Amino acid sequence: MPDQQHVKYLLSEDQIPRAWYNIIPDLPRPLSPVLHPGTKQPVTPDDLAPLFPMALIMQEMSPDRYIEIPEPVRDVYRQWRPSPLYRARRLEKALDTPARIYYKYEGISPVGSHKPNTAVAQAFYNKEEGVKKIATETGAGQWGSSLAMAGAFFGIEIEVFMVKISYQQKPYRRSMMQAYGATVHASPTNLTNAGRSMLAKDPNNMGTLGLAISEAVERAATSGGTVKYSLGSVLNHVLLHQTVIGEESLLQMAMADDYPDVVIGCAGGGSNMAGLIIPFVRERLGKDLNTRFLAAEPTACPSMTKGVYAYDFGDAVGMTPIMKMATLGHDFMPPGIHAGGLRYHGMSPIMSLLHEEGILEAQAYHQNGIFEAAVQFTRSEGIVPAPESAHAIRAAIDEALEAKEAGEERVILFNLSGHGHFDMGAYDSYFAGQLQDYEYPVEEVRAAQGRMPQVDEAALA
Ligand SMILES: *Cc1c(COP(=O)(O)O)cnc(C)c1O
């Protein structure tokens, strides 16, 4: 019998997980090797050493199912973890649904999202290896804020390339990064070859996440070893660090005497969704459950619903290693939707593989429907969600309405990846009726996919 009393399920500090769960050894088939952008041969740890500390490179390729969380990282996690799991009782009532809706709330971290779960771990391993400075990119500003905070905790200088459209739409995210002590540039900049060549083609270029990644990677790669690089999503070690979300949720669902039929996350590069679902995927594979997993993405940048599963670059100009993933083409320029954190052309290789294997479903949503769901959620649960997280809310509400139609007691769990306190400009546009619903840009995607790297996969095997 599911618990009928509580609104939130809280764990104690000593229930913060002691290990991250690495799904790589449990995947239904092996991940395709990551390739060097020049030779198109599998990368070696030495190839990645200019960008990342060795401990993270080893995690990226680790065959170990569990990796112990270092005590200094757990110490920082204690600042906000364990995060609460809520039962959305008021939302259920508003929808008049027999479904039970639960959400894990990652917006209680100091910066307001799940991203510090990996930022703190990455800063720790960089510090251990004597790194003094890290360059990174940020879209909506959540990742830049997270790494800036982690840099402040561990005494590392942080330089952030922030997508220009977000830099203009969200000036207070920039101030926040500066409050933590970081340096912030609007990307494209004149500081890198990648930025300069883009500005030469189009001086009014508003930037993309892929381009900001190119700038930050170039910064590290040309620093002669003095600057490392850090990525806030997509990579295996990032997903690994986020699994604390799902491990805590498993304990909290047990406290509620319940278990989800469907687990939902919004998907940009895939890390918050992965963090929630990966421990539930382990349970499904190990215990023969029928749990469904659903990724919610924007219609304007639908990497899983409309992308191809192929080898592509992680950045816009083709400097990063080549990964097999669901992609729209590395130089595709997604329309300027307000969920900046979801404007990424690709998808993490692990999530892409789970999608290919039919374990992960994906669905794309328009902006206006997203904000409609966000407002309904705000008025029933009181939390103003980030536009990114509102994609998961839309999907959860649709599942609850479907359950009502079918007269089913469906159990729904979603990740509320962050709050929207820095996104009120987007809400203003929605209230003013000025939000555009972008159709999926078929022609541009087709053209971008034509420019992807050619890889002879048969020759790799
Ligand atoms: C960055 C961000 C996302 C998207 O990134 P993922 O790696 O897909 O999780 C989603 N929600 C919020 C609040 C974010 O800041």
Task: Give the tens place of pLDDT for each residue, 337-396.
Answer: 788 788 889 999 999 999 999 999 999 999 999 999 999 999 999 999 999 999 999 999
- Under the banding of pLDDT at 50, 70 and 90, the label for residue 461 is low
- Under the banding of pLDDT at 50, 70 and 90, the label for residue 201 is very high
Q: What is the DSSP string of 282-338?
A: HHHHHHT---EEEEEEETTS-HHHH-EEEEEESSSSS-SPEEEEEES-TT------S
Q: Is the CB of 389 under 6 A from ligand 1?
A: yes
Name the residue ranges covered by the structural domains of the chain: 8-16+68-112+237-456
Window from 128-137, 207-216, 439-448 with minimum mean pLDDT: 439-448
* Residue that has been written with the tokens 């189009």 in this structure: 202
Task: Kindly report the average pLDDT of the chain as a whole number.
Answer: 95
Q: Is the CB of 302 under 6 A from ligand 1?
A: no
The pLDDT score that the predictor gives to residue 210 is: 84
Read off φ and ψ for residue 44, nearest 5 degrees.
-105, 160
Atom of ligand 1 nearest to the CA of 270: 8
Does domain 8-16+68-112+237-456 fall into CATH 3.40.50.1100?
yes
Torsion, Cα 240 242 244 247, to 10 degrees, reads: -80
Number of neighbours of residue 378 by Cβ within 10 angstroms: 16
Centre of ligand 1 to C-alpha 4, Å, is: 31
The pLDDT score that the predictor gives to residue 413 is: 98
Residue 258 confidence (pLDDT) above 80: yes
* Residue that has been written with the tokens 């104690």 in this structure: 12
Question: Rounded mean pLDDT of 423-432?
Answer: 95
Atom of ligand 1 nearest to the CA of 238: 7
- Under the banding of pLDDT at 50, 70 and 90, the label for residue 209 is confident
Residue-wise pLDDT tens digits, 428-453:
999 999 998 987 778 888 899 999 99
- Under the banding of pLDDT at 50, 70 and 90, the label for residue 151 is very high
205 and 310 Cβ atoms separated by less than 8 Å: no
Atom of ligand 1 nearest to the CA of 275: 9
Centre of ligand 1 to C-alpha 114, Å, is: 7
Residue 97 confidence (pLDDT) above 70: yes
Centre of ligand 1 to C-alpha 176, Å, is: 18
Q: Is the CB of 111 under 6 A from ligand 1?
A: no
Reference 342, options 208, 216, 451, 160; nearest CA is 208
Q: Is the CB of 340 under 6 A from ligand 1?
A: no
Question: Rounded mean pLDDT of 321-342?
Answer: 89
Model's pTM, two decimal places? 0.97
Reference 21, options 57, 62, 77; nearest CA is 62
Q: Whose CA is nearest to atom 13 of ligand 1?
A: 418
The pLDDT score that the predictor gives to residue 441 is: 79
Atom of ligand 1 nearest to the CA of 272: 9
